[in-house]
Amino acid sequence: MEQSPTARATRGRPRSEAVERSILDGVIRLIEEGTPLAELSVERIARTAGVGKATIYRRWSGKEEIFVDVLRTLEAPPAVLPGTSMRDDLVVLLEQIRRRGLNLRASAILHNVFAQMKTLPKLWDAYHSTVIEPQRRRAQDVLRRGQENGELRADVDIALAHELFVGPMLVRTVMRSDAPLDEGLSERVVDLVLGGLRPSE
């Protein structure tokens, strides 16, 4: 069936994975060479990737969007939730944060990018809206289902409960680089917090 002009205009030109990969790789290469994010212009990115600026602007509105996609390529895909219980799903979600923390400590490029992001409000906001916020909604959905299934007290504030679960892991992965991120930490955090949030027997 023929598409309407509106649908065709919305869809735009087909995206080339090879071209996009070369652009993202170009950004990573520049960061690895020590170029600050603030100095990475679209023109410089295009020159490094061997494409024209128009090629970049057909895919991204500006460099902030490019940086967010670079971060996406460096992160693991969303973890598959077992769905066996709220507790099991929460452990998987926290385990991904723990492993991301280990990766951040091991990867100089990730550490460099995250350190610089806080000085670039537009990038920080874009990263939160496209990466962090979907993760937050996913975790809160797990808690909400647990509440509906009777695994979590009905009076628990879902947003606050989410912060209680992820807070300890974020402290260790972001604020305390000396803190251990040992195996079994995700289970210990979840079980400790659930001890106060489960319905009374």
Q: Is residue 103 part of a domain?
A: yes
State how far the Cα of 114 lies from the Cα of 123, in Å rounded to an integer. 10
pLDDT tens per residue, range 3-32: 443 333 333 444 588 899 999 999 988 988
pLDDT tens per residue, range 85-120: 999 999 999 999 999 888 877 676 777 777 788 788
Same domain as 124, residue 82: yes
Q: Is residue 69 part of a domain?
A: no
Question: Stretch 185-201: mean pLDDT, rounded?
Answer: 90
Same domain as 174, residue 89: yes
Same domain as 58, residue 79: no
C-alpha distances out from residue 163 to 78, 166, 168, Å:
19, 5, 9
The radius of gyration computed from the CA coordinates of the chain, to the nearest angstrom, equals 20
Which among 183, 83, 90, 98 is positioned nearest to 139, based on CA atoms?
A: 90
Same domain as 139, residue 85: yes
Residue with tokens 């991301």: 100
The total number of structural domains in the chain stands at 2
Contact 158, 143 (CB under 8 A): yes
Q: What percent of the chain has pLDDT over 70?
A: 91
Q: Is residue 70 part of a domain?
A: no
Same domain as 170, residue 94: yes
Last residue of a domain, one of 14, 30, 63: 63
Residue 145 belongs to a domain with what CATH number? 1.10.357.10
Which among 22, 17, 58, 57 is positioned nearest to 41, based on CA atoms?
A: 57
Contact 169, 98 (CB under 8 A): yes
Same domain as 181, residue 103: yes
Same domain as 79, residue 59: no
Q: Phi-psi region for residue 83, left (φ > 0), alpha (ψ -120 to 50) or beta?
A: left
Q: What is the residue range of 161's domain?
A: 75-197
Which among 104, 121, 122, 125 is positioned nearest to 113, based on CA atoms?
A: 104
Q: Is residue 68 part of a domain?
A: no
Same domain as 130, residue 59: no
Q: Is residue 44 part of a domain?
A: yes
